[in-house]
Amino acid sequence: MKILFIGDVMGKPGRKAVDALLPEIKKEYEPDFVIANAENLAHGKGITKQTLDELLSSGIDFCTSGNHIWAKPEGHDILAQKNSPVIRPANFPPNVPGVGIKVIPVGARNVLVINLMGRVFMKEHLDCPFRTLDAILEQYKKEKPAAIIVDFHAEATSEKNTFGLYADGRVSAVLGTHTHIPTADERVLPKGTAYITDVGMVGLKNSSIGIEYEGILKTFLDQMPGKFEIPDHGLVFFNAVLLDIDTKDCHARSIARIQRDIEI
């Protein structure tokens, strides 16, 4: 089974880039299932019905998210829908809208998608992602999904690396998101789990993680709040990974980075 996972889609430039590039990427690689991290869809923070509809109409099958998913009120409503195509990190408190895991039929097989969030350098006080993963795998051990994909939304590279090794052999892939900077450490771990510290983003390439850099620069220079803007146009960096999963044992055969530039 081939699964395409697209990094954090950042605002309108990111949505436009996905719409422009995904058809040709799907034609070239023929993935069975396409996932994207959608927490930054609506001008960099959160989602709305309109921005989610745009992404889904571009050919995305399912979405993960992270800490910014709560930034727009519409996001709460979207997550609360019974058949929502978006999940939030599973280690948030259980009373918040949405779910952090979902089983998705892909052809005749099922894919278990898990969203978890790290705790190092993050302001939220969440349950332990390591123990949450244990509980989820115990819950779904009888279902024997063909693939188990984990979006690990975290800041610290050490936490991501440790989590990947902890999950090795028990899930098909651990894919880091959140920092928007693609890492060059994609590999299949010793026990069969595909891993990358951060997939990267789909957002403005010459920017500060997708945001116009002048506002960020002001904050660095004088420690005063800056105005963070995302222009509607520019050179966009598209980052994703392609997974090849052996559905017989749920292990990864390979993981490969896909990178494209496009002027929006």
- Residue of 68, 178, 180, 251 marked active site: 68
Q: Are 87 and 98 in contact (CB under 8 A)?
A: yes
Q: Catalytic site residue 68?
A: yes
Q: pLDDT tens, 178-187?
A: 999 999 999 9
For the chain, what are the domain ranges? 2-263
Q: How many CB atoms lie within 10 A of CB 37?
A: 29
Is the pLDDT score of 109 beyond 80?
A: yes
pTM: 0.97
Average pLDDT along the chain: 96
Tell me which architecture the domain covering 2-263 has in CATH. 4-Layer Sandwich (3.60)
Q: pLDDT tens, 207-232?
A: 999 999 888 898 899 998 877 889 88
Q: DSSP E strands: which ranges in the chain?
A: 2-6, 8-9, 33-37, 62-64, 101-106, 109-117, 147-153, 173-177, 187-188, 194-196, 201-204, 235-246, 251-263
